[in-house]
Amino acid sequence: MSKMCARKAFCILLVALLMGLSLPFTAFPVFAQDSAFSYSVLSEDEKTAEITGYEGTDAQLEIPSEIDGYKVVRIGAYAFIENNTMESVSLPETIEEIGEGAFGMCGKLVSIALPSSVTVIEPLAFAGCAALTKIEVSRRNPAYTARDGVLVTKSGTRLIAYPAGKTDTTYSVPKGVSEIAEFAFFYCTNLQEVALPQSVKTIGFSAFQSCACLQKITMQYGLETIGEYAFSECTALTDITIPFGVTSVENSTFEGCTGLETVSLPNSLVSIGEYAFASCLALTRIRLPNSVSTVGRSAFSGCSSLSEVYISDRVTAIEAYTFSSTDALKEITIPSSVTTIDDFAFAYSVNKTIYGYKGSAAETFAVKNGLTFVALTPPSGVSADLNNDGSSDLTDYAMLTSIAIGAIFPTVSETAIGDLNADTVIDFFDVSLLNLVLNGYCNLPGDLDGNGVSDTADVTLLTAYLSGNSTLSEIQKMAADLNRDGAITDADADLLSKKAEAYQNYQDSLTA
């Protein structure tokens, strides 16, 4: 890796150290120096101390078990950070804890052996050690072990640290690991491909950050959480598929993945965090699943190649800078669910055409910002008219079946249109009912006169029935019970009026 890339990764590490992690506080802030080692007293009563720094130049470094009569039980936070002389470290059996970043960015460190006494290893302990090829652990250690030089908990459920200097280009995380710890693969620049087993449920904060050569990560069903910055600055990553079960893409998860071209998001996803895909320069298309309701500020800012976006109709707001600096995005359709669009949502971008419905937030935003607005055809209001062509036919039947079997995740509007039995879901009861309608055995909900649509003629029939001036056949009564509560009431009349109004608006749009 170039010096510039290495310097950039080191800057990222320092930011993480200074902003995201806290330095330990000792109850006995007594500092001293013995030869090349600096130390602080942890307990006068127990005569214990921690190493806080080192000014020597030994290549094979031996940490003393005792200094000035104090037993050394801890390597302090950042004690050896950026040491570029030591190649190996020998820890005494007195060491119980290794602090945050204790050996971070030690450029020549090749190996380190952990004694049985070490039971606490804090984040970033060995992060960014570009020459570190293996971590060894005493077999008698009750908390940790090493598998092929990779540090994991004794139970095998948490992967703590993968040596950054390990020369393998591919790695399969062992089965049974349920968590990839924060910074576990930080700055592992040799890795090109990583496969996660189905047992992995959590990928921690910055777990794969700055893995500059990582081209492929395989994630499986069972994964639940991907932490902030987990894959940020993985510049060689070209495509990503997030499995079903993950509900959120956190802040900056893929920020700076400049080679990322394709992203597949699951129908379990609910939210996309701030800067989640910011500066993904090669990303050309993004489809937000219909399950997504929240998209954070600057989520796709700086995606200069992004030319196609699908926004779920569960999204209610487009935040500031969400699509800033996206000049390739010439047009975008904004659903009626979006009621708020920040004035800076498309900042530093030009020549946008906004597609939306008349009277919507999309139209207001376009007019206010001098953008071209194109009005969409409003929903027909016809039950089961999923393709919005003004009628229910075999095409809609195929779409309804696909939704029922789970091949398609429905939008909010599709669920409202296709839920023929009013049980809030689209299932095979709705498919069966549409099949009966298409074969002439019954009418669609709201279609009392059997002409295939819900219009003012149906409203007239229902109004007359409710006022006692006319009767309805059994087929008509079934069509009149729009909310499927077993009774025909004013509530059904209200629903039918809305359907008829929607159909009239639809017809008016076709002749406008």
Give the Cα separation of 246 and 265 in Å (integer).
9
**Summary mean pLDDT of the chain:** 92
In a domain, 456, yes or no: yes
In a domain, 42, yes or no: no
Could you report how far apart the first and last alpha carbons of the chain are, in Å? 61
Identify any residues that bridge with 340 across adjacent strands, giving them in sequence order.
317
Packing angle of the helix pair 490-511, 456-466 (nearest 10 deg): 160
In a domain, 324, yes or no: no
In a domain, 467, yes or no: yes
What is the DSSP pairing of strand 150-153 with strand 144-147? antiparallel
In a domain, 223, yes or no: no
pLDDT-derived band at 410 (thresholds 50, 70, 90) equals: confident
Poorest-confidence range of 28-42, 216-230, 327-341, 424-438?
28-42
In a domain, 197, yes or no: no
Place of tokens 């047009």: 331
What is the arithmetic mean of pLDDT over 312-324? 96
Identify any residues that bridge with 260 across adjacent strands, giving them in sequence order.
none
pLDDT at 349: 87
Q: Residue 418 is part of which domain span?
A: 394-511
Place of tokens 């649509």: 453
CATH number of the domain residue 398 falls in: 1.10.1330.10
In a domain, 441, yes or no: yes
pLDDT at 14: 44
Packing angle of the helix pair 394-404, 428-438 (nearest 10 deg): 170
pLDDT-derived band at 412 (thresholds 50, 70, 90) equals: confident
More confident residue, 299 or 7: 299
| pLDDT of residue 330 exceeding 60 | yes
- Rounded to 5°, angle at Cα 101 from 105 and 10: 40
Q: Which own/partner pairs from 433-441 qualify as long-range (CB within 8 Å, at least 24 positions apart)?
A: 434/384, 434/392, 434/396, 434/397, 434/400, 435/397, 437/384, 437/392, 438/392, 438/393, 438/394, 438/397
| pLDDT of residue 5 exceeding 50 | no
pLDDT-derived band at 422 (thresholds 50, 70, 90) equals: confident
In a domain, 440, yes or no: yes
pLDDT at 458: 95
pLDDT at 409: 82
- Percent of the chain whose predicted confidence (pLDDT) is above 90: 87
Model pLDDT for residues 189-242, shown as the tens digit of each residue: 999 999 999 999 999 999 999 999 999 999 999 999 999 999 999 999 999 999
What is the arithmetic mean of pLDDT over 367-376? 94
Model pLDDT for residues 107-130, shown as the tens digit of each residue: 999 999 999 999 999 999 999 999
Tally: H helices and E strands in the chain:
8, 32
Identify each DSSP E strand in 437-499 by its residue range: none
Count of domains for the chain? 1
Single-letter amino acid code for the residue at 196: L
Q: In this structure, what token pair is assigned to residue 175?
A: 């089965």
Q: In this structure, what token pair is assigned to residue 255?
A: 């920020």
